[in-house]
């Protein structure tokens, strides 16, 4: 029991890195995804094709490869661009590259969710808004967006949890600097020390589970707030889909 508590304490600093990666990439990815989803639904064929292609490419390839690709690209620009500007320490740092790639990745998945919700916004409401003489910005702000976010929220919750799970591979692709280790690297190093796979990996899994449940709880609260005008709050299903 004491061993288990010690183990929990050992992993506590590590989970901060996973939470950092998720927390840094979710807000930016959210905003980026809105533009991507609107781009995909855009009437202009150029914008629509570009967003469609971006979403397809980043949903159709492994995050692991995306990490390696972006990191090696950043490395190849190092001598020419970053070094003269004195930015290498920042641009090549995992704490920057990690969220960058996660943003690129989650934006594509989130955009697909938002695009689906955008198409499910009731036509009649948009037509009514147009009949009232609302400008396009007003239509989006007052009619489309509130509908969209309510429709997309349950799926978006799953995406956030998935993104948190995806933070597990950040340090398998990027260099570990000093004591900056996330849950997986901590578990792996402890395993290599005493070969106790069951203890170390289970504790890491427990942390992942615990944070996922907290995310579900918080996003459930937001969902209830979003749906407060509805007669019977449907509530976010506690058994989540976990599938992208």
Partner 1 sequence: MSEDLAFWLSYITNGKHLTWYASFQFTIFAAVFGGTLAVVFGLIGATLKNSRFLPLRLIGTVYSSIVRGVPDVLFFLFFPLAFEQAVEWFIASQVCTPDMLAAQSAAWPPCKEANWFLGTPEYLILASVSLGLVYGAFATNVIHGALRSVPKGQLEAARAYGMSASQLLWRVHIRQMWVYALPGLSNVWMLIIKATSLLSLLQIADIVLWADRLGAPNFLPAVGLVHEDWRWRYYLVLFVFYILVTLLSEKVFEAIMRRAGRGILSEVRH
Write out the residues near partner 1 by the rule CB under 8 A. Answer: 56-57, 59-66, 68-69, 72-73, 75-76, 165-166, 168-169, 172, 184, 187-188, 191, 193-195, 197-198, 201, 204-205, 208-209, 212, 239, 241-244
Q: Which is nearer to partner 1, 2 or 194 (CB)?
A: 194
Q: Which residues contact 197 (CB under 8 A, 6 or more apart)?
A: 191
For CA atoms 63, 68, 72, 74, give the dihedral sign. Answer: positive
Q: Rounded distance, CA 203 to CA 5, Å?
A: 10
Q: In this structure, are residues 14 and 183 in contact, taking their beta carbons and an 8 Å threshold? A: yes
Q: Which is nearer to partner 1, 73 or 230 (CB)?
A: 73
Q: Which is nearer to partner 1, 193 or 228 (CB)?
A: 193
Shortest reach from residue 109's CB to partner 1, in Å: 12
User: Cα–Cα distances in Å, from 16 out to 69, 182, 183?
Assistant: 25, 8, 9
Shortest reach from residue 128's CB to partner 1, in Å: 29
Q: Which is nearer to partner 1, 83 or 244 (CB)?
A: 244
Shortest reach from residue 15's CB to partner 1, in Å: 13
Q: Which is nearer to partner 1, 64 or 96 (CB)?
A: 64
Shortest reach from residue 56's CB to partner 1, in Å: 7
Q: Rounded distance, CA 70 to CA 47, Å?
A: 23
Range list of β-strands (E), the chain: none
Q: Which is nearer to partner 1, 78 or 147 (CB)?
A: 78
Shortest reach from residue 61's CB to partner 1, in Å: 4
Q: Which residues contact 204 (CB under 8 A, 6 or more apart)?
A: 11, 183, 184, 186, 187
Shortest reach from residue 198's CB to partner 1, in Å: 6
Q: Rounded distance, CA 189 to CA 176, Å?
A: 12
């Amino acid at each position: 029991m004491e061993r288990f508590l010690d183990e929990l304490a050992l992993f506590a600093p590590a989970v901060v890195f996973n939470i950092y990666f998720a927390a840094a990439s979710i807000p930016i990815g959210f905003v980026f995804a809105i533009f991507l989803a609107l781009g995909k639904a855009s009437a202009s064929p150029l914008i629509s094709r570009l967003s469609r292609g971006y979403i397809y490419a980043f949903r159709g390839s492994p995050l692991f490869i995306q990490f390696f690709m972006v990191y090696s690209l950043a490395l190849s620009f190092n001598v020419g661009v970053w070094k003269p500007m004195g930015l290498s320490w920042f641009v090549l740092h995992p704490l920057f590259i990690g969220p960058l790639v996660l943003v690129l990745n989650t934006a594509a998945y989130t955009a697909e969710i938002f695009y689906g919700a955008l198409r499910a916004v009731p036509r009649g409401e948009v037509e009514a808004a147009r009949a009232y003489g609302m400008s396009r910005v007003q239509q989006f702000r007052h009619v489309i967006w509130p509908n969209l976010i309510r429709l997309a929220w349950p799926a978006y919750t799953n995406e956030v949890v998935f993104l948190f799970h995806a933070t597990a591979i950040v340090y398998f692709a990027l260099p570990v600097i000093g004591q900056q280790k996330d849950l997986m690297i901590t578990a792996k190093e402890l395993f290599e020390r005493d070969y106790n796979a069951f203890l170390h990996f289970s504790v890491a899994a427990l942390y992942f589970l615990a944070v996922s449940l907290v995310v579900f709880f918080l996003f459930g609260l937001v969902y209830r707030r979003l749906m407060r005008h509805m007669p019977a709050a449907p509530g976010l299903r506690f058994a989540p889909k976990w599938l992208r």
